[in-house]
Chains A and B, each alone.
Chain A
Amino acid sequence: MVGMNAVLAMTFLLLLRTGLITIAIAGFWGVGAYASALLSVKAGLPVWLALPASALVSAIVGLVVGLLLIKKGGISFVMLTLVFGFIIVLVFGTFEVFGGYTGIYDIPPPEAVRLPFFGLVEFTSKTPFYYLMLFLVSFIALVLKAFYAAWTGRAWNAIGQGPRLAESLGVSIFNYRLLAFVIASAAAGLMGSFFAHYYGSVVPATFGPQKTIYVHVYAILGGIEYAFTGPIIGALVMIVVPELLRIAKEVEPVFTGIIVILLVMFLPDGLLGLFRNRWPSSPVENLGRIVRWMKDSFRRVKSGSRG
């Protein structure tokens, strides 16, 4: 769950980098989940094919939606993605193919595979799913990293920091935002597909915009400047901490609400932002810094003063 939410938060940060705030993330997550459910249950496709296929479906939906919405930009884009987030739930709930509001059941887990070093892997317990998720998260992070490191990442940064300047240097705002949107949709779709096969069922309500708001919180809690570590830390904290505190499901939104308020008031740069000044360049230096910081904190706690 942490991995999946972390990837969703990564897609949010990808679009945020280009100056777009999207509330459609959970929608694309749902597109992937439903595509995978239909492909494996109704069309009988093996799960290992349904996984990439549903990412592709989600990318195509992303392309079409992006073509329609991205020209608007700014606040219109935000509102329109919200509208998409609501509409997609309605679509899943209304049309017969998607199984109505009770959704689709009996989605098969991935078929057993024989892998080198691992032997025969059967998806009967949670453990193999855990490793599959680890693989998918790493894969998506690597792909995103390649894009960030190449000219595309520079173009996205440029658009986010100064769209007019970027354009004057020859960067097509529309094309590069569309590219980011399609990549984000594909990644969210792939996560949706995993989700469908992991849970074995999909219902429309899961994929509403409320989920996207949670995704935003993961990303912002971790720190929006950190494209990969931010979402992972954010999702980890938001999922593990309520668990540890044994907070009941019903009061969990209250916990999230408090986190959001604290974030806005005290931590606009997120948890990792706390370390920004202590964490600038070389790993060795950083290690020294962390050790010193921990020592200092320890000493402060011991002497009872709260500096």
Chain B
Amino acid sequence: MGTILEVKNLGKHFGGLAAISQLDMGVYEGEILGLIGPNGAGKTTLFNVISGFFPPSVGRVTLRGRDVTGMHAHEIARLGISRTFQASTLFMKSSVLENVFTGFHLSYTTRRWKRLFRSPSARDEEARFRKEALNILEFMGLASLSGELAANLPHGHQRVLGISMALATHPKLLLLDEPMTGMNPVETENMIGLVRQIRDRGITVVLVEHDMKAVMNLCDRIAVLNYGQKIAEGLPREIRENPEVVEAYLGKHGTK
């Protein structure tokens, strides 16, 4: 099993505050890696650095051996890392289908002027994207809502739509930021199934999540961050029994 993403000696400082420091981490091809830690541990910052929204202060990020440190977010998206956002970040005024359609931005192959003049080949391409978007929505269980405005979806469906859009970019690596937050147990169960199926399609998944039960249930491996540093990494069972992790979550007194 090769490594798809490698983070070496990564640091991100905001003024005097180190959101991440000296972080080394690897993500294996085809796994589901859980990223957990108390609030403010630097999990989302790590996502922002990997996906190119912030340049790191120090360190390196490599994707399949290629250095992607400091690239712009849209360039990183082109290389195959896609992400979702913590809050429901969607194109609220557009329909569900249009939202997913926007995810094909990088997939066009016809020439630009042909697209502007709506040549037959450009139309074929659009039709193909439409079909694929519907396939993705079918797969994610949103097909019946494809004409609805994103703003009108219930919260759980909005999260699912966020992931559908990320899938439309044909990612190799998918970063999910708290995909289950605010979901009821049934929706959470459903989401676990979806993430597994996404992985089975050959997409590596890294997810930040606070729902411990879901994380333990879903992830192949788990990494724990605290104060911007990795304090543990391993199988779910090992993490659950790791005293340092328990301490980080419950405080020193919790370990008594």
Which B53-106 residues have C-beta < 8 A from chain A? 53, 72-74, 77-78, 82-83, 85, 89-94, 98, 101-103, 105-106
Bound-state CA distance A125–B166 (Å) is 58
Bound-state CA distance A154–B168 (Å) is 14
Binds B, one of A8-16, A161-169, A238-246: A161-169
Bound-state CA distance A161–B99 (Å) is 11
Q: What distance in Å separates the Cβ of B238 from its nearest Cβ neighbour in chain A?
A: 32
Q: What distance in Å separates the Cβ of A44 from its nearest Cβ neighbour in chain B?
A: 33
Q: What distance in Å separates the Cβ of B178 from its nearest Cβ neighbour in chain A?
A: 15
B116 contacts partner chain A, Cβ-Cβ < 8 Å: yes
- Give the number of residues in B that approach A within 8 Å (Cβ atoms): 33
Q: How many A-B residue pairs have CB under 8 A?
A: 78
Binds B, one of A18-26, A144-152, A256-264, A290-298: A144-152
A158 contacts partner chain B, Cβ-Cβ < 8 Å: yes
Closest chain A residue to B168, Cβ basis: A169
The answer, among A150, A164, A167, for a CB contact under 8 Å with B116, is: A150
The answer to whether B105 and A161 touch across the interface, beta carbons within 8 angstroms, is no
The answer to whether A146 and B116 touch across the interface, beta carbons within 8 angstroms, is yes
The answer to whether B83 and A172 touch across the interface, beta carbons within 8 angstroms, is no
The answer to whether A161 and B118 touch across the interface, beta carbons within 8 angstroms, is no
Q: A147-B116, A149-B118 are in contact. Are A172 and B93 (CB under 8 A)?
A: no
Q: What distance in Å separates the Cβ of B213 from its nearest Cβ neighbour in chain A?
A: 28
The answer to whether A172 and B90 touch across the interface, beta carbons within 8 angstroms, is no
- The bracket for how many chain A residues form the interface is 20 to 34
Bound-state CA distance A109–B118 (Å) is 36
B115 contacts partner chain A, Cβ-Cβ < 8 Å: yes
Bound-state CA distance A71–B92 (Å) is 25
Bound-state CA distance A157–B105 (Å) is 12
The answer to whether B74 and A154 touch across the interface, beta carbons within 8 angstroms, is no
Bound-state CA distance A161–B83 (Å) is 17
Q: A150-B116, A166-B102, A169-B169 are in contact. Are A157 and B91 (CB under 8 A)?
A: yes
Query: What residues of B have a CB within 8 angstroms of the CB of A170 in the complex?
Result: 74, 77-78, 105-106, 169
The answer, among B53, B98, B103, B116, for a CB contact under 8 Å with A169, is: B103
A155 contacts partner chain B, Cβ-Cβ < 8 Å: yes
The answer to whether B51 and A168 touch across the interface, beta carbons within 8 angstroms, is yes
The answer to whether A168 and B77 touch across the interface, beta carbons within 8 angstroms, is yes
Q: What distance in Å separates the Cβ of A43 from its nearest Cβ neighbour in chain B?
A: 30
Q: A157-B91, A158-B91 are in contact. Are A146 and B105 (CB under 8 A)?
A: no
Query: What residues of B have a CB within 8 angstroms of the CB of A166 in the complex?
Result: 102
Query: What residues of B have a CB within 8 angstroms of the CB of A147 in the complex?
Result: 116
The answer to whether B115 and A157 touch across the interface, beta carbons within 8 angstroms, is no
Bound-state CA distance A228–B205 (Å) is 43
Q: What distance in Å separates the Cβ of A138 from its nearest Cβ neighbour in chain B?
A: 17
B108 contacts partner chain A, Cβ-Cβ < 8 Å: yes
Q: A147-B116, A154-B98, A158-B102 are in contact. Are A171 and B91 (CB under 8 A)?
A: no
A233 contacts partner chain B, Cβ-Cβ < 8 Å: no
A173 contacts partner chain B, Cβ-Cβ < 8 Å: yes
Query: What residues of A have a CB within 8 angstroms of the CB of B122 in the complex?
Result: 150
Q: A154-B102, A154-B105 are in contact. Are A173 and B74 (CB under 8 A)?
A: yes
Bound-state CA distance A170–B92 (Å) is 18
Which A82-131 residues have C-beta < 8 A from chain B? none
Closest chain A residue to B98, Cβ basis: A154
Query: What residues of B have a CB within 8 angstroms of the CB of A146 in the complex?
Result: 116-118
Q: What distance in Å separates the Cβ of A37 from its nearest Cβ neighbour in chain B?
A: 31
Query: What residues of B have a CB within 8 angstroms of the CB of A164 in the complex?
Result: 53, 73, 85, 89
Q: What distance in Å separates the Cβ of B132 from its nearest Cβ neighbour in chain A?
A: 14
The answer to whether B85 and A165 touch across the interface, beta carbons within 8 angstroms, is yes
Bound-state CA distance A164–B165 (Å) is 13
Q: What distance in Å separates the Cβ of A274 from its nearest Cβ neighbour in chain B?
A: 18
The answer to whether B118 and A150 touch across the interface, beta carbons within 8 angstroms, is yes
Closest chain B residue to A143, Cβ basis: B116
The answer to whether B73 and A168 touch across the interface, beta carbons within 8 angstroms, is yes
Bound-state CA distance A152–B108 (Å) is 11
Bound-state CA distance A123–B74 (Å) is 50
Closest chain A residue to B53, Cβ basis: A164
Q: A158-B91, A161-B91, A169-B169 are in contact. Are A151 and B108 (CB under 8 A)?
A: yes
The answer to whether A154 and B90 touch across the interface, beta carbons within 8 angstroms, is no
> 24 pairs across A/B with beta carbons < 8 Å?
A146-B116, A147-B116, A150-B116, A150-B118, A150-B122, A151-B105, A151-B115, A152-B116, A154-B98, A154-B102, A161-B91, A161-B92, A164-B53, A164-B89, A167-B53, A167-B74, A169-B103, A169-B168, A169-B169, A170-B74, A170-B78, A170-B105, A171-B105, A172-B72
Q: A167-B52, A167-B53 are in contact. List 18 more A-B contacts (CB 8 A).
A: A146-B117, A150-B122, A154-B101, A154-B102, A158-B105, A161-B92, A161-B93, A162-B89, A164-B85, A165-B85, A165-B90, A167-B72, A167-B73, A167-B77, A169-B82, A170-B77, A171-B102, A172-B72
The 10 A-B residue pairs whose C-beta atoms are closest, nearest first, are A170-B77, A167-B73, A170-B106, A161-B91, A172-B74, A165-B89, A150-B115, A158-B102, A146-B116, A170-B105
